[in-house]
Chain A
């Protein structure tokens, strides 16, 4: 999403929309909710509770996208993740025998490996943050109207009239990948075709 947002930044610096209110509070509120529910996701023993907490996380992240003047991404986040994927996720979880699951030990034998891996990942993040601080925009994100965000994404993905877009090829490749994934799922579920 980063380049998209950047392009949005450049393009939208010109037209200034209405002044947003209480931005920092919304930001901190949403961030706190996201983190808390994220913690709930990994701490709850009941899988359905975890799934609901995950939905809350996704929704608050969508709110953060909105505050970044990326409403389209927010909408996609809600539709695809919260609306589509999580519903199917719940669908599956419901068929699991919850009592059995919650009785089981939560850590299996290879938990040290997982611990090491996650520590490495954390180190990687910190390193990236330290090294690449200058990548982040110095001044807080400038206001830009959400009125053109969707169009910008569209032109970035599909290109404007005639000219091919920046990411058209990658986008089509990704869609092809999804198609393959769908076919694979069908083949896996169907005994014989």
Chain B
């Protein structure tokens, strides 16, 4: 497929990127492009200007904050997460999940920031971020703000990041004392998610986020027991989409099964 005409710029600083995004109506940030390019090939979307973030090295760092928080730059690729010693030490689930996304070539290009800002309901990271309590740092003309995962995802392809803003980094609390789990039913091994669920347990409490069942991850908090979590999910009265891969009823069922499995994993890892 072939893209419609588009203009391209590759700024060398975040400020320059922000200026370009606000100066051009219909400008979009280009990160790894592993989804945006395809959607543009289908001409299902046609941004007028692409602002390539490739040269913004400050967005490619993975560091630990003084408080022990893991700070991941938005332009870090899935492969970066898989191979990062900091990730392995601070929050290994990130690497576990990143290694399940698509395939080697896509993991070599696709970025955490792109995955989150895309907010495709089948993505792996939105529910994971919601479950582990990540916060997103968004910068724009108005300066910098921090958004909790719960408020970050607004809808399909819609997030708290305005067209003239950038997600710069994701801050993730260290695993200390908690356990994380992730379970998914995918089309073929490591394929597109039909339903996925991420869970974190700490001091008897579980936070579970289920993906692919609504426009944004569905988050529940309950006692860290499978039954309690299943009840909580049931309590949300999900109305999942019905598509070629799964009926609404099947997705509703998988949401409960996978939430329980994610919690089981999390409990095993926390002990």
Are A and B part of the same complex? no
